[in-house]
Amino acid sequence: MKLHLPISVLILSFLASPVFSQPRAANTPILSSDAQISIIVFGPWQGELYSAFGHSAIRVYDPQFNIDAFYNYGVFSFNQPNFYLNFARGHLNYKLDVDPYAPWRDYYISNNRFVHEQILNFNDEQTQKVFDYLYWNSIPENQYYMYDYFYNNCATKLRDVIKITLKDEVTFDSTYITTNYTIRELTDIYLKYQPWGDLGIDICLGLPMDKKASPYEYMFLPDYIETSFDHATVRTDSVVAPLVLSKVSVYESRPEDPPHSLFHPWLVFGAFLLITIAITWRDIKSHKRSRWFDVVVFGIVGLLGLLLFVLWVATDHRAAARNLNILWAMPLHLVFIPLYMKSKRSAITYFKVIAILNVLLLVNWAWLPQQLNVFLIPVVIALAVRAWRIGWRSHGISSRHGL
C-alpha cells in the first residue's frame, strides 16, 4: 500500500554535488517541440491532517508521443523494510512516483479540491533538460529521497528540480511576500479547522518550527509554490520572461462548510481542569489525597515528556529538537511518582518545584521563544494545582488515607 502525503523540510545533500547537476538516463525519450512542463497544484482538504496543506506535482505533456505523465514526489510505501522503525527514527524514505495525469486530476476534483495548472515558459532545450532529470529521477535506484516536513517535501522538490536543471536561468522573486510568519504560524493557518492535528504538531515539534521563514522557505506549502512560480522569471536566448507561460484553472472547488466537532481541545481540557479542581477541593475538605489521580495524570504527562525527549535527542526529526513543551511534560515525573507513592520527602520537594515551574510557565506563556499551543493552558493549570496539592498540602496527612 502506498500513501500520498503532501506536506515536509531539508535539502538533499546530493543536490549540491556537480555529478548530479545534469543526470540523464541512457534511454530517455526525446520530446517533441509540442511538449510542455507544468506545475500542478491541488487545493487543501480538511478531511485528513495530511491533506490540509494541499499537494503539488509536475506534469509532462507531449501530445505527439502520447505522453501525459504525473511526476509525484509525495509517495511512500508501508512495505519498505523496517518502515515503522525508520519512521519513528525520522528516516522518512519517500520516492518519486510516475502515473498518468488524468486519474490524479479526477481524484482531486471528486474530492472538491481545486486543480490549477501552470504551463512553464520553456524552450525545447529547457523542456528536455527538466524531463531528462525527471526521467532519471524516476528510475528505481534514483527515485528515493529523505523526506523532511518543511525543507524537502512534495512542494520544495518541484522548485529544486527546476533550479537543479536550469540553475540561474530561472529566478524566483520573493519580494511579493510581505508577511513575516514563522514556520509554525504558516502551519497553523492551514490547520485552523483541525485543532487536534494542530495541537499534536505543536506538542511534538520544537524551536526549529519557530524560526522566521524566509520567502524561499514559504515554498514548503503548495499554495506558495504556485504564487512563487507566478512571480518567477526564466531566461531563454538572452530574453527574460515570466516563468509561467499560461495558467489553467482546471477546477475550482465549491464552497463547503468546514468540519466542526464538539470534541474540541478547549472542551476536553476545560473539563479536565474542572475535574482536577473538584478532586483537589474534595481532598482538601476531607483531608485526603487522591494519589490514584496524581499517578494517572503525572504518569501520562511523564510518558509524553519521555516521548518528546526521545524525539529530541534520539531521532532525526530535526523539527522536534529543543522542545519547550518538556517544561510542563516532565519525563522526571516517571521517577518521582513512585517516590510520591512511598511518601518520600524528595517527592514532596520535587512537586513544589513543579508547581512553581508551571506557574512561571503560565506567566511567561506569551514571551517564550517557542509558541506553545493555547489549548494546553488548562492542562498546565491543572498540573500546577495538583503539584501544589502534593507539595504544600501533604503535611499532616496520614499515609493511611492512601489511594
For 68-100, what is each residue's pLDDT tens digit? 999 999 887 666 665 555 655 666 788 999 999
- What pLDDT score does 401 carry? 42
Q: Please tell me whether residue 174 adopts helix, strand or coil conformation.
A: coil
- Dihedral sign for Cα atoms in the order 302, 303, 308, 312: positive
pTM of the predicted structure, to 2 decimals: 0.84
Give the mean pLDDT of 182-205: 94
Of the pLDDT bands very low, low, confident and very high (cuts 50, 70, 90), residue 6 is very low
Contact 312, 330 (CB under 8 A): no
Of the pLDDT bands very low, low, confident and very high (cuts 50, 70, 90), residue 171 is very high
Q: Cell numbers at residue 130, please? A: 527538466
Among left, alpha and beta (phi > 0; psi -120 to 50; other), residue 94 is: beta
144-169 residues labelled b (16+ CB within 10 A) or e (exposed): ebebbbbbbbbbbbbbbbbebbbeeb
- What pLDDT score does 3 carry? 39
Nearest CA among 31, 57, 26, 56 for reference residue 122: 31
Contact 164, 230 (CB under 8 A): no
User: How many C-beta atoms surround the C-beta of residue 328 within 10 A?
Assistant: 21
- What pLDDT score does 287 carry? 86
Of the pLDDT bands very low, low, confident and very high (cuts 50, 70, 90), residue 238 is confident
Give the mean pLDDT of 2-21: 36
Length of the chain: 403
